[in-house]
Amino acid sequence: MLSRLVTAPPRPALDRLIGGPASSGVRRAVAMAVPGDVEDATLLALLLDDLPVAVVISGYAIVAEPIERRPPSNGGKPHVDLCSGWRAGGTMMTTLTAAGALPVLVGPAAPALPGSSVPGTDEGPPLPVHGMRRWRRMDVMAEADRLLVDAWFRDSHITTDGEEKVVHEYELQAEVRRGDLTVLALSAEPRVLPWQECPAAASSAARLVGQPVHVLRQHVRKAFVGTTTCTHLNDMLRSLGDIVALDRAIQKAPADGGPAET
């Protein structure tokens, strides 16, 4: 349940979210509360769109230390075949069945952020022990007839020893036709994922070729389910819908050498 939500500047319309869900259903509630922001893909809308993801991945901090390991918090019912990592017979399900608790895999140390075309990107404020952070970047570069897209995200966790460890990390490249914004090519590269079954879902990204980007948020939510998909990759694929707003910004950019990417 969402107990508190503060924005700067204040948006009273969002008060209706208080007392409602903080994961499933929150995006629908945001769309009803601030439809204009969702339509325009404002920074506020994008931050709120990540709220349910933040709630889901925060569970890693709860199970990260052996003393705190516990069964999943969904009424004791495992998410069988929800995605590639949760497949029946896979590492997570067999360990959960045998040990009665989710396995915990500690990822590699988080390296410096990959290069970005956006100036001023830094590592951000330090996180406390068991804090978690999601970085997300999308660069869109305009050519005569195409948009070239390079996107990336990372979820990381601060261990008891104060080290930042990567939990999930993906990179994605896409080509989008200018004009109708149809996906021409798309590939995803899994860099860090927790279980050996997870990377198999990366090839599902190619299923979006031929789709216009403005339908991707709805299309991925409805069509990308089951063991051929990855819930974290799906969030990244959904975010390609933001290309609409980024392309709009490119078209408004000065023609005399102004920024052609954002």
- What integer pLDDT is reported at residue 96 of this predicted model? 80
Who's near 105: CB < 8 A, 6+ residues apart?
194, 195
**Sign, CA torsion 249/233/226/210:** positive
CA 200/CA 152 separation, integer angstroms: 18
Residue 64 lies in a domain: no
Domain region containing 244:
77-252
- What integer pLDDT is reported at residue 123 of this predicted model? 63
Instruction: Report CA-CA distances (Å) from 114 to 122, 140, 246.
Output: 10, 16, 21
Q: Which residue has the tokens 């199970």?
A: 63
- What integer pLDDT is reported at residue 78 of this predicted model? 62
Nearest Cα residue to 183 out of 226, 148, 152, 159? 148
- Mean pLDDT, consecutive 10-residue segments, the chain of 262 residues? 91 93 86 90 88 81 59 58 88 82 78 58 75 90 95 91 92 96 97 90 96 94 93 92 92 65 42
| Cα angle: 35, vertex 218, 47; to 5 degrees | 50
Residue 131 lies in a domain: yes
Residue 15 lies in a domain: no
Number of domains observed in the structure of the chain: 1
**Sign, CA torsion 26/27/32/38:** positive
- What integer pLDDT is reported at residue 118 of this predicted model? 45
CA 81/CA 229 separation, integer angstroms: 10
Residue 205 lies in a domain: yes
Residue 195 lies in a domain: yes
Which DSSP helix (H) or strand (E) runs through 238? Answer: helix 231-238
- Tens digit of pLDDT for each residue in 174-209? 999 999 999 999 999 999 998 889 999 999 999 999
CA 255/CA 106 separation, integer angstroms: 48
Residue 62 lies in a domain: no
Residue 68 lies in a domain: no
Residue 19 lies in a domain: no
